[in-house]
């Protein structure tokens, strides 16, 4: 970790306190000139592609999940060369500390952080509470687009296996815990898409057998910050029934909401093996002959075909 780590009581209770920063702490760091040398880069990752332009944290650089991180043709993430060029253009070097924040309780910020993790970028952190908290606190914003000094980023091959699950991995995972982070209506199969997202639908509704339903937003407090350790434990260890050392797969619809839960499981509760299944329901709910459970019951491990 190149940049100093914030110390506070809430973060100290988490498994990896160094993965979060508070708005207050970041504001102080920016005031002290932290963004001047390229050692620390702040990235804003939003769902709305124009939100950054309406005002952002001074010195923050925009990253767009669609145009910067997704491959334009294949349903996959960019390759090592594209990632290196993108990162360098945003002023990021391999040893830079990268802080992510964004709209919707950091939904897209955690997604971007997760993609950086596929490339093994070491020091990545989330601004607890994200964009909404920063603005609610009346902290400074600017509409001036940050023009970064290009960084130097090596071409690193993506290493998906530790944190990314594919459909085949999920089929082989049965018997171990799965977390479904979608809305209850999507989980039961009452809806085949999110209330406001009809185009990310699926042919079939329901959930992957045995998956526990823990909607992603329950890990966030009203101000968009992560809930404290005790609350997260009640959610994932209590309600979902996870046990220490479990190998966990989280999924949603395209893998963005589950990035938020993935971050909580991996860094705040400290599960070593947590993978995000980014194919998620838009793949599973359209795939041929995969097992599905409808209704509120988790269901049982399907017998092998």
Partner 1 sequence: MNTSALPAALAEIVDDFQALTEPERLQLLLEFSRGLPELPERLKDHPELMEQVVECQTPLFLSIETEPHDGDTPDVVRLFFKAPAEAPTTRGFAGVLHEGLDGLSAQQILDVPDDMPELLGLTRAITPLRMRGMSAMLGRVKRKVAAAAPQQSPAPHS
Q: How far is CA 211 from CA 7, 98, 138, 247, 250, in A?
A: 35, 32, 40, 13, 9
144 interacts with partner 1 by CB under 8 A: no
Segment interacting with partner 1 (CB under 8 A) among 47-55, 160-168, 260-268, 296-304: 47-55
198 interacts with partner 1 by CB under 8 A: yes
142 interacts with partner 1 by CB under 8 A: no
Given 73, 147, 196, 304, the residue binding partner 1 (CB under 8 A): 196
Q: Is 126 labeled as catalytic in the residue annotation?
A: no
Smallest distance, partner 1 to C-beta of residue 23, A:
17
Given 18, 24, 47, 231, the residue binding partner 1 (CB under 8 A): 47
x/- mask, partner 1, residues 98-137, rule CB under 8 A, reads: -----x----------------------------------
Segment interacting with partner 1 (CB under 8 A) among 7-15, 48-56, 87-95, 240-248: 48-56
Per annotation, catalytic residue among 252, 254, 268, 292: 252
199 interacts with partner 1 by CB under 8 A: yes
89 interacts with partner 1 by CB under 8 A: no
CA–CA distance, 39 with 263 (Å, rounded to integer): 23
Smallest distance, partner 1 to C-beta of residue 142, A:
15
49 interacts with partner 1 by CB under 8 A: yes
Cβ neighbours of residue 7 under 8 Å, at least 6 residues apart? Answer: 17
DSSP assignments along the chain, one per residue? --SPPP--HHHHTSS-GGGEE-HHHHHHHHHTTTTSSSSEEEEEE-SSTTTGGG-B-TT-EEE-IIIIIB-SSSSSB--HHHHHHHHHHTT--TT-EEEEE-HHHHHHHHHHHHHHHHTT-S-EEEETTHHHHHHHTT---B-SPP-PPP----------TTTB--HHHHHHHTTS-EEE-S-HHHHHTS-SS-TT-GGG--SS-SB-TT-EE--GGGGB-TTSSBPPHHHHHIIIIIIS---TT-EEEEE-SSSSHHHHHHHIIIIIS--SEEEEETTHHHHHTTSTT---B-SSS---PPPP-
Given 31, 53, 144, 152, the residue binding partner 1 (CB under 8 A): 53
Smallest distance, partner 1 to C-beta of residue 58, A:
19
Smallest distance, partner 1 to C-beta of residue 67, A:
6
Tell me how many residues contact partner 1 (CB under 8 A).
17
185 interacts with partner 1 by CB under 8 A: no
Residue placing its CB nearer to partner 1 in the complex, 19 or 104 = 104
Report the catalytic residues: 252
Applying CB under 8 A, the residues found at the interface with partner 1 are: 47-51, 53-54, 66-67, 72, 103, 195-200
């Amino acid at each position: 970790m190149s940049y100093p780590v914030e110390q506070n009581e809430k973060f100290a209770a988490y498994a990896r306190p160094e993965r979060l920063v508070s708005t207050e702490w970041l504001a102080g760091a920016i005031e002290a000139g932290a963004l001047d040398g390229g050692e620390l880069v702040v990235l804003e990752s939003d769902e709305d592609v124009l939100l950054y332009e309406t005002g952002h944290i001074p010195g923050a650089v925009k990253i767009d999940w669609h145009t910067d991180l997704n491959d334009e043709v294949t349903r996959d993430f960019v390759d090592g060369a594209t990632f290196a060029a993108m990162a360098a253009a945003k002023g990021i070097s391999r040893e830079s500390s990268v802080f992510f924040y964004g709209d919707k309780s950091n939904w897209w910020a955690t997604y971007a952080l997760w993609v950086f993790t596929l490339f093994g970028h070491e020091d990545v952190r989330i601004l607890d509470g994200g964009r909404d908290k920063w603005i609610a606190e009346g902290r400074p914003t600017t509409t001036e687009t940050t023009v970064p000094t290009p960084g130097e980023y090596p071409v690193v091959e993506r290493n998906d296996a530790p944190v990314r699950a594919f459909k085949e991995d999920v089929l082989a995972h049965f018997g171990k815990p799965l977390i479904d982070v979608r809305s209850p209506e999507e989980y039961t199969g009452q809806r085949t898409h999110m209330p406001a997202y009809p185009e990310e639908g699926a042919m079939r509704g329901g959930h992957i057998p045995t998956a526990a339903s823990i909607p992603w937003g329950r890990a966030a407090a009203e101000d968009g910050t992560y809930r404290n350790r005790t609350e997260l434990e009640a959610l994932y260890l209590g309600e979902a029934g996870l046990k220490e050392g479990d190998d966990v797969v989280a999924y949603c619809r395209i893998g963005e909401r589950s990035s938020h839960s993935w971050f909580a499981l991996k860094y705040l509760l400290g599960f070593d093996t947590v993978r995000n299944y980014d194919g998620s329901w838009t793949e599973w709910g359209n795939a041929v002959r995969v097992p599905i459970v409808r209704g509120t019951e988790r269901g049982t491990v399907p017998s092998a075909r």
